[in-house]
């Protein structure tokens, strides 16, 4: 039984700040929310963890500006809440971003939110990646 608990791996979301502080999220999907620095509107991206990797499933925003994907291969629609939603479904490398009080970078999962701008120093960098741990560590939340 112990061998089973050690050999079976569980994927999780690992957020590491440049100061070394690590946050772990044990969830198969999450969203990253922030305020666009130019447009001053909320933007969010939805990700899934699949087979140990990050997949960007959709991107939602209210206004078109710097950084908006322009590739016509993405399916877009206008939601009732005024957000344009792009269906993307692409494998993505680990996410590197800077957090600040100005853009209020937040990770949403289930009914929880992790306000990165309150955890990490203003204008510091964080890396968001998929990691794995033995099932026993997952059960013990180590």
Residue tagged 């710097």 (tokens): 66
Band (106; pLDDT cuts 50, 70, 90): very high
Q: Round to whole Å and give the CA distance between 135 and 122.
A: 34
- DSSP, residue by residue, 81-121: TS-EEEEEEEEEPPEEEEE-TTTT-EEEETTEEEEHHHHS-
Please give the model's pTM, rounded to 2 decimal places.
Answer: 0.86
Question: Taking a C-beta distance cutoff of 8 angstroms, is the pair 60, 85 a contact?
Answer: yes
Which token pair is 19? Answer: 């100061």
- The pLDDT of residue 84: 83
Average pLDDT over every residue of 26-32: 95
- At 116, phi and psi to the nearest 5? -60, -35
Q: Round to whole Å and give the CA distance between 69 and 112.
A: 28
With a cut of 60, say whether residue 90 has pLDDT above it: yes
Which token pair is 134? Answer: 């033995």
- The pLDDT of residue 140: 84
- The pLDDT of residue 2: 67
* Least confident among 2-11, 65-74, 78-87, 114-123: 65-74
Q: Is the model more confident about 25 or about 37?
A: 25
Average pLDDT over every residue of 90-109: 95
């Amino acid at each position: 039984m112990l061998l089973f608990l050690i050999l079976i791996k569980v994927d999780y979301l690992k957020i590491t700040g440049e100061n070394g502080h690590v946050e772990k999220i044990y969830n198969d999907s999450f969203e990253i929310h922030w305020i666009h620095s130019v447009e001053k509107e909320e933007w969010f991206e939805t990700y899934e963890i699949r087979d140990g990797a990050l997949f960007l499933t959709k991107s939602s925003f209210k206004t078109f500006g710097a950084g908006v994907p322009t590739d016509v291969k993405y399916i877009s629609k206008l939601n009732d809440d005024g957000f344009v939603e792009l269906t993307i479904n692409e494998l993505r490398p680990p996410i590197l971003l800077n957090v600040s009080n100005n853009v209020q970078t937040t990770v949403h999962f289930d009914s929880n939110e992790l306000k990165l701008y309150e955890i990490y120093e203003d204008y510091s960098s964080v890396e968001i990646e998929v990691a794995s741990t033995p099932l026993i560590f997952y059960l013990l939340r180590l």
